């Protein structure tokens, strides 16, 4: 509802009155009503092995208004992603003690249908097809580069939003390059 974010002008005093939702928020939080609305941060869960990749994700999350949750295991990722209804889960293929195929399948089967992005040092069409068959969304090459991971997250969010708005089951991931059999 677009109209809810617009300020209201009091005709008698000529003063700007914040919208109803901002006023309600200020009553419950005790904070002053802001004249500038800030958009909520989008939760993203990430299982990452390398410290360098963690730094890239932290940097991208602050630039893209993402709420990054770094976790240590697939089980923790499932728990956190479900609690936050995170639309995107980033999974490091090199995570010790976890077989990526099984992990991606269980992460993609979350009740809110998160898009799982696999981060891998090896990227090819076979890996993409295998990831998609297991319910994943995209493969991003490692070491992570801000522009690559940012693009993958934005596309996954767009895809997730589109799938969620239709109320349909999570559709198959968009077709990638390469031949279909």
Domain 42-166 has CATH 3.40.50.2300: yes
Q: Which band of pLDDT confidence, cut at 50, 70 and 90, is reported for residue 127? A: very high
What one-character-per-residue DSSP string does 57-78 give? HHHHHHHTTEEEEEESSHHHHH
Spell out the domain ranges in the chain. Answer: 1-38, 42-166
SS3 129: helix
In this structure, are residues 87 and 107 in contact, taking their beta carbons and an 8 Å threshold? no
Looking at residue 113, its pLDDT comes to 85
CA distance 68 to 147: 17
The burial of 126, by beta-carbon neighbours within 10 Å (0-12 exposed, 13-18 middle, 19 or more buried), is given as exposed
CA distance 5 to 21: 8
pLDDT tens-digit map of 16-28: 444 444 444 444 4
Looking at residue 91, its pLDDT comes to 95
Beta bridge partners of 42: 66
pLDDT tens-digit map of 54-90: 999 999 999 998 999 999 998 899 899 999 999 999 9
The answer, yes or no, to whether the previous bond of 143 is cis (omega within 30 of 0) is yes
Average pLDDT, the chain: 79
């Amino acid at each position: 509802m677009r109209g809810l974010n617009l300020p209201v002008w009091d005709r008698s005093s000529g003063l700007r009155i914040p919208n109803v939702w901002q006023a309600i928020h200020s009553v419950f939080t005790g904070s002053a009503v802001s004249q500038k609305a800030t958009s909520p941060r989008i939760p993203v869960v990430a299982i990452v092995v390398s410290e360098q990749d963690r730094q890239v994700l932290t940097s991208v999350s602050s630039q893209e208004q993402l709420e990054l949750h770094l976790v240590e295991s697939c089980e923790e990722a499932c728990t956190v992603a479900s609690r936050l209804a995170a639309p995107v889960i980033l999974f490091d293929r090199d995570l010790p003690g976890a077989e990526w195929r099984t992990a991606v399948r269980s992460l993609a089967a979350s009740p809110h249908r998160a898009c799982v992005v696999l981060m891998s040092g090896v990227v090819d069409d076979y890996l993409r097809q295998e990831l998609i068959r297991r319910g994943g969304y995209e493969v991003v090459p490692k070491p992570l580069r801000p522009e690559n991971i940012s693009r993958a997250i934005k596309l996954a969010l767009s895809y997730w939003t589109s799938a969620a708005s239709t109320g349909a089951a999570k559709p198959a991931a968009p077709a990638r390059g390469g031949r279909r059999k």
